[in-house]
Each structure stands twice: as structure tokens, then as C-alpha cells.
Amino acid sequence: MPHYNSGDTAWVLASAALVLFMTPGLAIFYGGMVRRKNVLAMLMQNFVTMAIVCLAWVWFSYSLAFGPDWGGLGLLGDLRFAALSHISGAVPGLAHQSIPQLAFVAFQMMFAVITAALLTGSSADRLGFAAFCIFVLVWSVVVYDPIAHWVFSPEGWLAKRGTEDFAGGTVVEITSGVSGATLALVVGPRRGWPRELMRPHNVPLSVLGAGILWFGWLGFNAGSALSAGRAVDAFVNTNTATAAALLAWLLVEKLRDGRPTTLGAASGAVAGAVGITPACGFVNTVGATVIGLVAGAACALAVSLKFKFRVDDSLDVLAVHGVGGFVGMLMVGFFGVSAVSGANGLFYGGGLALLGRQALAVGVAVGWAFCATAAVAWAVHKTVGMRVGPEEELAGLDVSLHEESAYDFEALTSSALSARAFTSRPPSRAQTEKD
């Protein structure tokens, strides 16, 4: 039995809770950006993703992602840990394990949840609820589990080749960005896009969600150290890059559009957290700052690409998560510092070897996410039908799918009219006599 450290275990469990909190934060962030008639549908998709992926994870997905390698090729785990059996020992291939495997299960489960939840931003305003549930379940098994094994599992083929991805630049960010855009491509654009202006209905709500994401990302990245001691570098680097990216996004808006925006500040913070995700445990403060600046600027500029390529990625998941993950992964090849962890990058005397390995992982992640997601989305779309009808989309998903409304303005109007009518009535005879 491995020796467990109580401090490390407590930190990883607390980080798992922080990462889980990111999904409601994402729901709020995305909920403020959609139109008023679809906000509850967005919240519903994120919350049901938590339920679906968590159950799938404990029953079979964890074993596929981190179980003993099946076939010795580094492609997929076997089902030894199905239903969380046989997990009293160490995680296969993980050196210096100081936490129970069950704590590792819980932490990685939250990664699987948030990655699947990110897809809701690309396909917002047009997916049927049942079809979305089916898609999330199949996608998490077919797309997420294999790439998690390749990169995160010590027995995965990319991990063995020396890919450095501290907290999921490929597994979470590039995979979700490319998968989201692919899903949007398969189901088609929202009706009226891009002719109609589809503005966010509640920017303060999105800013609150971004703040929750910033808070949770500290556990997302620093928790990936699996040790309270090693978490410090990742924690500080994450916060540094997030701050730098926020300012870089605002600068791009100022130069391009003449004024910075509140939603831009929120998006810039998310872009910085994305960019530093693969690098947070491998770079120093200089690297973290540069990565944040580049990620913030690159993601801000990438937002316009969906109009050029006519892909209705509703809430810019590819531009923020895909591009941000791409920047972070490659930047490790330049700014990696062995004094922090890992190998030296090009700027620290390491040559091109690490950059080549990072580029390989990026290419594999893009190719797998696109091809596998296209197959899953096409299959679900052709068998179940992923889109709602024109009338349902026009009415809004909140009412047409869930018979609910986030803002009951009719009730408020009725109450106001009733109060006005009451106060405008002449006093009754009894009231007059009493006075």
C-alpha cells in the first residue's frame, strides 16, 4: 500500500470541489451571453452534464481513461476499475503517489464534467434536450476518455513520448474547442445568424460566472500537481496569466473597436486561464505573463474567425478554449523551465525537441476531436435529431423544452397594474367614515 499524505489528500479533494464549482460558474457565464429566452436551457444543459458524466465516470469512464493499458499500445485503459472496483492501490504508472486513488478519481471526474459542459457554448440556442443528453454521454466515452488516456495517464502513448500538459491544454481545452465547433458545424447555425444581432441578455451575469471560473481555475490547475507543495507554482502562474490576458483582451478591443467592453474583460480572464492551463506547472513568472498576454490577444482576435468561416460557434468556444489551449501548449515548448518542472524549452537551452512533442500533441488532439466528434454528432443527429423545430427555436428553448421562464415579466406587469389600480381607486364609504 502506498503512503498517503493527509495534506496532499485534503488539497486534491478541495481542488476537486473547486473544479466542480466551475461548471455552475460556466453555466452562469454562458447563461448571461445567450438571449433571454434560452438562459434556463443553458443552465439545464450544464447541470444535466454534471449528472451524466459523473455517473459514467464512476461506472466505466475512469477505467477507460486511467485503467491499466489495454493492449500495451497506450490507446485506452481496460475495465479493471469499472464501478470503482480494485482501486485500493496506486494509479497505474503514477510515480510518487501520495493520495488515495479514490481522491484521484474524484479530481479527474470534475475535469471530465467541465470539458463536456464547455460544448454547450458552441451549440447554444438550438439543441433538443434529449438529443443533447445522448450526445454528451457518447461523446464523453468516445472522444474524451481516449485522449485523457493518451495525455493524462502515465501509460498513454503521448505521455510516454514526453508531452507536457500540466492540467489539460489538449485534453480539456483543445478537445472542447474543436469538438464544440464541429458540433456547431454538424447541427448548423442558429436561425437568423449572422444577419440578426444576437446580443448577450445579461452581461453582469456573465461577469459573475467568469469570476467563479477564475476562482475555480486555481483548483483546476494547482490541484493537478496532486501535491500541496508542488501546487504553489501552478497557483501563482494561473493567477498571473489570467490577469495579463484580461488586460491584453481589453487592449485589443481598444485598438480595434475604440473602446474596451465588460464582456471582453470577462472573456479575457477566461482566455488567460485557458492559455496557462497546460503550462502552469512548467514555466516561471516571465513565461506565465507572456502566455497570458499572447493568449488574451490571440483569443480576442480569433473571435471574428467564425464569421469568416461561417461556423456558428455561438459563444466562441473554439476562439477562447481551442486557440487558448493551442497557444499554451506551444508556449511550453518555448518557455518551459526545468527548474520549475519538466524539460527546458527553446528559450532556456532545450532546443526544439520539447516544442516538437507539444506540436505533435496539438495536432493529434485537433484531429481526434474533429473526426470523433463529427462521427458522434452525425450519428445522433441522423438517428434522434439534435435540433429543435423552427417554432420551438423562435419561441425559445426555455418555454418550448422546459415550460419555464427565467424572467416572469408578465407576472411583474400584472402585479404592477393591480397595485396601480388599487391605489387609484376612490376610498370606500367605510374607509371615509373611519377617517
Region class of 403: left (phi > 0), else alpha (psi between -120 and 50), else beta:
left
Q: Is the pLDDT of residue 429 over 60?
A: no
What's residue 156's pLDDT?
97
* Measured distance CA(165)–CA(344) in Å, rounded: 14
pLDDT above 70 covers what percent of the chain? 93
Q: What is the pLDDT confidence band of residue 96, given thresholds at 50, 70 and 90?
A: confident
pLDDT digits (tens, 9 = 90+) for 260-294: 999 999 999 999 999 999 999 999 999 999 999 99
Q: What is the mean pLDDT of residues 334-348?
A: 96
Task: Calculate ∠ Cα 34-316-276, nearest 5°.
Answer: 125
Q: What is the pLDDT confidence band of residue 3, given thresholds at 50, 70 and 90?
A: confident
> Which residues are within 8 A (CB) of 409 and not within 5 positions of it... i.e. 6 or more apart?
none
Identify the three-state secondary structure at position 435: coil
Q: Is the pLDDT of residue 418 over 90?
A: no
Identify the three-state secondary structure at position 77: strand
pLDDT above 90 covers what percent of the chain? 90
Maximum Cα–Cα distance across the chain? 96
Burial of 261 (0-12, 13-18, 19+ CB in 10 A): middle
Q: Which range (129-133, 339-343, 397-401, 407-411) has the least confidence?
A: 407-411
What's residue 334's pLDDT?
98
- DSSP-assigned beta bridge partners for residue 77: 69
pLDDT digits (tens, 9 = 90+) for 167-221: 999 999 999 999 999 999 999 999 999 999 899 999 999 999 999 999 999 999 9
Q: What is the pLDDT confidence band of residue 414, given thresholds at 50, 70 and 90?
A: low
Topology adopted by domain 6-399: Ammonium transporter fold (1.10.3430)
pLDDT digits (tens, 9 = 90+) for 134-143: 999 999 999 9
State the average pLDDT for the chain. Answer: 94
Contact 50, 77 (CB under 8 A): no
What's residue 426's pLDDT?
52
Q: Is the pLDDT of residue 55 over 60?
A: yes
Contact 157, 75 (CB under 8 A): yes
Half-sphere exposure of 142 (CA within 13 A, CB side): 18
Q: 2 or 125, which is more confident?
A: 125
Integer CA distances (angstroms), 24 to 163, 196, 376, in order: 31, 29, 25
pTM for the model stands at: 0.92
> What stretch(es) of the chain map to CATH 1.10.3430.10?
6-399
pLDDT digits (tens, 9 = 90+) for 28-54: 999 999 999 999 999 999 999 999 999
- DSSP-assigned beta bridge partners for residue 69: 77
Q: Which of 118, 71, 108, 111 is nearest to 87 (CA)?
A: 108
Q: Is the pLDDT of residue 428 over 80?
A: no
DSSP state, 416? H
Burial of 208 (0-12, 13-18, 19+ CB in 10 A): middle
* Measured distance CA(396)–CA(92) in Å, rounded: 47
* Measured distance CA(188)–CA(360) in Å, rounded: 30
